[in-house]
Amino acid sequence: MSQEPSDKRNIPALDADGLSRRSFLRTSAVFTTGLAAIAAGLAPLRNLKDFTSMEQFVQKYYKELTPEDMEKVLKRIENEVEQQYGIRPHVRDLKPMNGVEFVYCLNLTRCIGCRKCVHACVAENNQSRNPEIQYIRVLQMTNGSFDMEKAVHDYDPAEVPQKGHFYMPVQCQQCHNPPCVKVCPVHATWQETDGITVIDYDWCIGCRYCEAACPYWARRFNFTKPAIPKDRLNPNMAYLGNRPRKQGVMEKCHFCIQRTRAGRYPACVEVCPAGTRKFGNILDPNSEVSYILKNKRVFIQLKEELGTSPRFFYYFDV
């Protein structure tokens, strides 16, 4: 653009303001280039339009939202999901019920390690299929030991259960004393009165402190935009539950909040072919979980010594 003139005699005379043609050209060329460079450097911001909308950016904290605000937020989420997946979902903000505290019991004698719960959970909760995000990890353990360091989670034999092994599915333990909630710098995760520790995906900043704090490896981070095939989207959604997440936020098991707060069993309970998984209200003395805690050999809360006091109990028959 700005070329050095070849002939000295062609230097134009200074105009009234003392600006020569050459210096004008040079300055403007440098200026334009700089401007272009800045614009190009900011180019990645173009991708932000899929990342967040203005309504979401100015949205208030979950606990400060009035019912009218919440209605607008749910409409916005429904619109966004419809735009993205072509399916109009039904997004609700279900509140905890009075006199309900959820407890989960899992029968280690019965689990055969078939991983159906893992995939039922993925389908129910709209988790990313690529890369895979799974809330449940099934550990294959050797009989007679309880060494999780030696547990295998990528076993793939032709048939389970394998002789000499037992299987222990691990997911969010919904602790009474959750370390993940304590470390969150923005209070984007908290414990509800029914015992479910929830995440506000619109408030999470993706610092992953909670992931580091969780002793059960229950929290998952969306490193990329979740990939969910349109025909596998579950349209029954909850704000604190299975609505599609964005890139850069945490997620985890929430006891299928969109089902359990509507009175139904979680997806993993429904799908378990061996009847291993039990779920219910511990404050109801007639619930199956009350019966199990009263009568069965409930032997651990996982990593009991950490004082997290999980609401997830492993028990044995006999």
Partner 1 sequence: MKPPTKTSVILLVLMGVFLALAAGFSLNLWGRPASRPDIPLVDPAFISTDTVRTSYAELAAQKGDLSDFDCYGCHEKGKPPILRFDANQNLIIPKEHSDIVMKHGSHNRNNLCFNCHNETNLEVLQTRDGRELKFSESTQLCGSCHGPTYRDWGAGAHGRTSGYWNRDMGEITRKDCVSCHNPHSPKFPGRKPAPPPHPLRPLDKPKLEAKE
- Contacts to partner 1 from residues 160-199, by CB under 8 A: 160-161, 165
| Cβ distance to partner 1 smaller for residue 44 or 67 | 44
| Cβ distance to partner 1 smaller for residue 203 or 265 | 265
| Binding residue (CB under 8 A) for partner 1 from 171, 258, 281, 308 | 281
**Nearest-approach distance from CB 264 to partner 1, in angstroms:** 5
184, exposed or middle or buried, with CB in 10 Å at 0-12, 13-18, 19+?
buried
Determine the residue type at 300: I
Q: Are 308 and 173 a contacting pair, CB within 8 Å? A: yes
| Cβ distance to partner 1 smaller for residue 16 or 39 | 39
Helix (H, G, I), strand (E, B) or coil at 197: strand
| Binding residue (CB under 8 A) for partner 1 from 74, 271, 282, 302 | 271
The yes or no reply on residue 142 touching partner 1 (CB under 8 A) is: yes
Q: Which window, 24-32, 80-88, 191-199, 299-307, contacts partner 1 (CB under 8 A)? A: 24-32
**Nearest-approach distance from CB 304 to partner 1, in angstroms:** 22
Please give the C-alpha separations between residue 78 and each of 67, 90, 203, 242, 293, in angstroms, as whole numbers: 16, 7, 18, 13, 40
| Binding residue (CB under 8 A) for partner 1 from 13, 16, 40, 58 | 40
**Which residues between 101 and 140 bind partner 1 (CB under 8 A)?**
105, 107, 110, 112-116, 118-120, 122-123, 129-132, 134, 137, 140
Maximum C-alpha span of the chain: 106
The yes or no reply on residue 26 touching partner 1 (CB under 8 A) is: yes
Label each residue of 54-87 as H, E or C. HHHHCCCCHHHCCHHHHHHHHHHHHHHHHHHHCC
CB pairs under 8 A, 24+ apart, for 230-236? 230/85, 230/86, 230/87, 232/123, 232/129, 233/81, 233/85, 233/87, 233/89, 233/126, 234/123, 234/124, 234/125, 234/126, 235/87, 235/88, 235/89, 235/90, 236/89, 236/90
The yes or no reply on residue 4 touching partner 1 (CB under 8 A) is: yes
Tokens of 257: 């909040």
| Cβ distance to partner 1 smaller for residue 8 or 63 | 8
Please give the C-alpha separations between residue 226 and each of 134, 138, 182, 209, in angstroms, as whole numbers: 12, 22, 27, 20
Q: How many residues bind partner 1 (CB under 8 A)?
A: 82
- CA 198: distance to chain centroid? 10
Q: Which window, 1-9, 48-56, 177-185, 195-203, contacts partner 1 (CB under 8 A)? A: 1-9
Q: Which window, 56-64, 171-179, 190-198, 263-271, contacts partner 1 (CB under 8 A)? A: 263-271
| Binding residue (CB under 8 A) for partner 1 from 55, 192, 211, 288 | 288
Q: Which window, 62-70, 176-184, 200-208, 292-300, contacts partner 1 (CB under 8 A)? A: 292-300
**Which residues between 83 and 102 bind partner 1 (CB under 8 A)?**
97, 100
